[in-house]
Structure 1
C-alpha cells in the first residue's frame, strides 16, 4: 500500500472541491492514484464535514448535505475567498 503525503492529499482535496470539481476518474488518471483510494479519501473528508463533490455536476446535482455544508462555511469568508 502506498502512503501519500499530506501535500498530495491536499492537492486532491482541492481538485475535488468547488470550484474545480474534477471527477475521481480524471484525478486518478492525472495523478496515478487508484480510484478506490480517492473514493476513500473523499468519504473521510465528507465525514469531517468538508465539501468535496468530486463531480462535474452543477450545483443542482449536489446532494443536500453538500449544499448545507457550503451554506454553513461561507458566511465567514472574505471577498477574496468568495471570488475564487
Structure 2
C-alpha cells in the first residue's frame, strides 16, 4: 500500500488472497499510528489532506540524505513536503477562524439554506400559477375560435 508501489487494496487482495476487509482494517490501524499509507495509485499531489499531513509529520525530523531517502521511498519531492508543511502552518495561523467565527458562519449558512428553500418553494408556486394562466389563456383562445362571440350583443 505504501509508496512507491501504491497498489490498491483490491490489487493486494487479489495477489495475496487476504480479504479486503482485513487490509482496510490494517490500513486504518496504521493510519491511526501516524503511518503514511495512502493506498492509492494517485500521484502525491492528489493525496488526501490526512495523508499529506502524515507525510509532513514523518519527515519533520529528517534532513539531508535521510529526507532524500524518505522522499524516494514514497515517490515525493522535498519541495512538495515543504509546500504541504507551509499549507498546514497557514491553516493554523492567526488568520484561521476561531470557534465563535465558525459557529457564526455555520449559523449564517443555515439561514441561507432556509432562505434558499423558501425561495425555491415560492418559485415553484409562481411557475405553477404561470402555467395555469398560460393554459387558461390558450383554452379561452381555442374557445373563441370554436364559438366566436357575437360582437353585436
Q: Normalization by structure 2: what TM-score?
A: 0.42
2:10 alignment counterpart = 25
* 1:83–1:31 Cα change, 3 Å: same
Structure 2 gap ranges (5+): 74-153
- SS at 1:54 equivalent: coil
Which of 12, 28, 32 is the aligned partner of 1:43?
28
Q: How many residues align?
A: 69
Q: CA deviation at 1:52?
A: 0.5
* 1:81–1:53 Cα change, 3 Å: closer
Higher helix content, 1 or 2: 2
Q: CA deviation at 1:25?
A: 0.4
Structure 1 gap ranges (5+): 1-15
Q: Structure 1, residues 48-67: CA drift from partner, whole Å, max 9, x if none?
A: 11111111011122111110
- SS at 1:66 equivalent: helix
2:39 alignment counterpart = 54
> Whole-Å Cα distance in 1 between the matches of residues 46 and 69 of structure 2?
26
- The CA RMSD over aligned residues, in Å, is 1.5
> Whole-Å Cα distance in 1 between the matches of residues 44 and 55 of structure 2?
11
* 1:49–1:80 Cα change, 3 Å: closer
- SS at 2:35 equivalent: coil
